Amino acid sequence: MFLGYSPKAKCFMYAADVVRYSRQWHQSLQNRFELHPAVADAFQMHDPEDWQQLLLEWPHEATTDVTRLAYTRDERAGEADRQTLTSLGKYIKQHWPRMADHHIRDFVAKYATAATFHIERTTEAIVNAVQKGPSSCMKFDESISSEREELDELGAHPYEVYAPCYGWHVATRRMGHQIVGRALLMQRDNDESNPKYFVRTYKHKEGESYSQPDDELIQWLNSQGYRHNSSWKGERLAYIKSGHSDCDFIAPYIDGGAQDVEIERERMPDGSYKQYLHITNKGAFECCNQNGTATELNTCSCADCGERISEDEQRGIGVYGDHMVGECCIDDYTHVHGRRGNQYYVPNDDAVEVGCEFYDREYLSDNNIVELANGDYCDLDDAVCVDDEWYHRDDDAVVCDYSGDYQMRDDCVELHDGEWAHESEAWECAGSGNFYLTADDSPVNIDGNLYHEDYLPETDDEDETPATVTIKEST
């Protein structure tokens, strides 16, 4: 069991050997169960809040449900050999409360699953994953007459255009025979030297018509060398004639940023030509319908790069939205809150992030945003002004004094009661080292040293001549 080289990890490993000999019940636990691998991995990433408690609980994989974690709550439970079951994510959050949520999701996806994973490269498997898998707009319920009629009118399922000959295949996550997760995959020519990727995963959840991303499937695909991509731009789809009155060819709802297609053709070995659909972000047809058809587009030019874009794709840039660009260049801009609180796009360098929102640098005051002394930004409600500079109220450089005003920490002292005060408003007791507020506690001056009345120096000789004592009046 490897836990890394942090000091707490070393203590944990040493203490595990010690406690097995001091507690018979813990020795039994260690003999029967390995420390849960997700906990060991989490220890390598961050130290837990209380490693001693973690050691006594000895978390391990539950014997009755491999997707859950078991741990011993306390000494009494240990003596009774009684373990408590909990979810892996909840347990990690309890002991690593500051760990990022996406790291916790990764651990759950990696260790808390009893699913099986499959990759298939046939048209039948691709269509089957849609029809029998998680909900999506391309899942046609043939028990509903209107959806059965749509399929009959098309003549084929829209996902049949994802022809394996162009590199399309499918991954599924299954619980038993049920398909609970799916992802369309791409690898051109089935060549391992070509990049393998996916655009979206779908996850089954009872009672929901919209499918969320499948984190478990994503983790597994990553382990198989597949990376996530934002679109299918550049890939080919089979051209299948449609019987639908709205469109001559069958078109699926294409996931990702590129949803347009152009009808193109390639020369075959026998000299004939074969049509196919080329996925692009500036095509003549948009594939975002749920009935297996495409919509012909009106196009214009992107003001930045000159590419042809659909009018619906246009995004207005700037305060007045008079600079029009398409999806081809929109990544160069950020959607912000700006002038008078209005929202629009600005160049990325002109956007300021505060929390989870972005703001136009030129109109921060319109949105109650201030620039801090350290160059960061925050909401005005979370800021305080000291010496004409803004600071976050939680900044260690400032403190709230006894009167509720904020001061620079370096100009203040902490009083005996835990409050803060400006150093000009306080004095230090020579007997205790404590600071007192001059307005509340008058010092006693003995030979030039200031004392609080509770810490006056004592004299051993009764005949000793008393020192000069002066009581300083409060101002």
Quote the CA–CA distance of 323 and 306 in Å, as a whole number.
13
**Sorting pLDDT into bands at 50, 70 and 90, what band is 353?**
very high
Spacing of C-alpha 341 from chain mean position:
27
pLDDT of 464 strictly over 70: no
Q: Where are the domains of the chain?
A: 7-111, 115-297, 315-367, 401-475
Q: Take residue 97 and report the two structure tokens written for it.
A: 């409360």
Spacing of C-alpha 235 from chain mean position:
29
pTM over 0.85: no
Average pLDDT for 122-148: 91
**Average pLDDT, rounded, for the chain:** 88
pLDDT of 210 strictly over 90: no
Quote the CA–CA distance of 103 and 389 in Å, as a whole number.
37
Cα dihedral angle (203, 171, 256, 195), rounded to 10 degrees? 140
For residue 307, give the nearest of 345, 281, 274 by alpha carbon.
281
Neighbours of 284 (CB within 10 A): 16
Quote the CA–CA distance of 58 and 27 in Å, as a whole number.
10
Structure confidence by residue, pLDDT tens digits, 6-54: 677 778 888 888 898 889 999 999 999 889 988 888 888 888 999 899 9
Q: Is the dihedral of CA 425, 428, 434, 436 positive or negative?
A: negative
**Sorting pLDDT into bands at 50, 70 and 90, what band is 190?**
low
Average pLDDT for 332-348: 94
